[in-house]
Structures are given as C-alpha cells and as structure tokens.
C-alpha cells in the first residue's frame, strides 16, 4: 500500500500506514516519544533512533515519519517463519517535482554498526523481505547506523538546537529574511556587516542561527557553520 497525494497540495499526503507495534520501555536501551516538529509524537527505542528522528525533523524535504509502519512475514535461515517490523517509514515532500519523478518514501532500519556486522547473516532474510516489499510499493529500503546518523550534519543540528528556543525582535527577523529573499542567497558575514555592525554583531549572529534552527533560513549543514556560510530561504516554515 502506498501513499495517496491530496489533490489540493503536492506536499500533503494521506498516510495509509500507522504504527504496527507498540514500543515498550526496556532496560537495554533508551525509549520514548519524540515531539516531531511539535505536532506528532513518534516513538523511538534507542538514542540512535532518536538522533535519526532529529535529522529527519531538520530536513525540509521530509514530510512525515511513521514509526513501526508495517509487519513483514519472512522465512529465517533455519526455515522457521517470523514477522519483521522495520523501524520507520519516511515520506518526502514532492515540491516542484512531478508525480513521475516523485521522491520515493524510505523504509528504514536503524541499527548500530557492531550489531548488524555481527548478525548480518542471521538478519539477511528479513532485510531481503523488506527490500522486496519496498520495491513493490515504489519505496526504498535502507539501513542506518552511526556513520549515516551521527556525522557532521547531526553535530551542526545539535549546535543550532540552542538557538531554536530563543526569542528576538520581530523587526530584526523581518529585515534579515526579506534581505535573503530579495537576494536569493547571501553570506552570514554580509548580513552581519549590513545590519549588525560593531557591538551588535554577536546578537546578529544569534538571530541568524535562530532563523536557520527554526527553518526560516537554510544552509549547508554538512559541515561546521561560520560567517562565510551561504544562506537562502527554507522551502517551508514550521
């Protein structure tokens, strides 16, 4: 079963999957509910899953995330039958792309590297079933470990987290966003030099990082941020 696009908006979908398995607290890992964009509580079973959700939340291209979305039957190496529940299903925004070239939903298994390397032969049948099912639905299936989740991007997202909760003068916010919108893109240094000279520079930098944190401005977050960082309008606002 796939998602059906709402005719009123390219970026609204009718989600036809819901959480299939209730996540219970365990002593082995940290579980809880992640407040996704302040609107949806998404269950997670480990800090690695929580960090994955944090990355998804920050990405403007991500529309929604469903925890434990489907249950898949599979046959283990010893011939016994089991059921496998992948961790997440990620839906992406269509944006300006056509339905022919739409971004495929992503079925995700989050697993520490030491675990999947140790058990990959045992777990191969269920992951094969997930890939086959995902392909039949027009999705992709991918395994995310620390290398894909806890990289420089996550470090930058965590750095910006502190600025998301700050409050600033609306006039300062508007002049920055209007300037970036009119120029298409500009550097952090340009905005600071134009609007926040001298002793006001530090406060101006905090405002800019706040606007990136709340996704009113966007930039390349795959590496450290600096005054040379180029900024542009985010594709949506929370």
List the single range of 27-41, 52-66, 192-206 with lowest mean pLDDT.
Answer: 27-41
Phi, psi of 36 (to 5 degrees): -70, 110
pLDDT over 90 for what percent of the chain?
79
144, 151 contact by CB (below 8 A): no
Give residues with Cβ within 8 angstroms of 176, minimum separation 6: 191, 195, 207, 208, 211, 217
- pLDDT 10s digits, 206-236: 999 999 999 999 999 999 999 999 999 997 6
CATH class of 4-149: alpha beta
Q: Which two tokens stand for residue 11?
A: 């970026």
Where are the chain's structural domains?
Answer: 4-149, 152-233
pLDDT of residue 101: 73
* Lookup result for tokens 């944006």: 95
pLDDT at 189 > cutoff 70: yes
Give the global pTM: 0.85
Q: Which two tokens stand for residue 13?
A: 């979908």
State the Cα–Cα distance between residues 133 and 72, nearest whole angstrom. 8
- pLDDT 10s digits, 79-138: 999 999 999 999 999 877 766 778 899 999 999 999 999 999 999 999 999 999 999 999
Helices and strands in the chain: count of H runs, count of E runs: 7, 13
Determine the length of the chain. 238
pLDDT of residue 95: 73
State the Cα–Cα distance between residues 154 and 160, nearest whole angstrom. 10
pLDDT of residue 126: 97
What's the N-to-C CA distance of the chain in angstroms?
A: 28
- pLDDT 10s digits, 20-45: 556 555 555 689 999 999 889 999 99
Query: Which is higher by pLDDT, 150 or 21?
Result: 150
Per-residue exposure over 90-100, b if at least 16 CB sit within 10 Å of its own CB, e if not: bbbbbeeeeee
State the Cα–Cα distance between residues 1 and 119, nearest whole angstrom. 30
């Amino acid at each position: 079963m796939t998602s059906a696009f709402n005719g009123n908006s390219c970026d609204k979908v009718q989600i036809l999957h819901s959480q299939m398995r209730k996540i219970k607290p365990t002593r082995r890992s940290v579980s809880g509910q992640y407040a996704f964009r302040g609107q949806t509580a998404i269950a997670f079973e480990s800090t690695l899953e929580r960090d994955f959700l944090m990355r998804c939340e920050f990405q403007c291209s991500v529309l929604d995330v469903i925890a434990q979305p489907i249950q898949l039957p599979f046959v283990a190496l010893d011939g016994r039958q089991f059921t496998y529940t992948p961790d997440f299903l990620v839906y992406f925004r269509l944006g300006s792309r056509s339905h022919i070239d739409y971004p495929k939903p992503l079925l995700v298994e989050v697993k520490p590297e030491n675990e999947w390397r140790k058990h990959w032969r045992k777990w191969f049948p269920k992951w094969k079933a997930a890939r086959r099912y995902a392909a039949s639905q027009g999705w992709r299936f991918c395994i995310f470990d620390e290398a894909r989740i806890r990289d420089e991007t996550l470090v930058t997202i965590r750095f910006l987290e502190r600025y998301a909760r700050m409050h600033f003068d609306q006039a300062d916010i508007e002049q920055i966003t209007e300037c970036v919108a009119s120029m298409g893109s500009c550097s952090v240094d340009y905005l600071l030099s134009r609007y926040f000279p001298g002793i006001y520079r530090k406060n101006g930098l905090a405002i800019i990082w706040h606007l990136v944190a709340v996704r009113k401005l966007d930039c390349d977050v795959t590496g450290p941020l600096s005054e040379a960082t180029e900024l542009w309008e985010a594709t949506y606002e929370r």
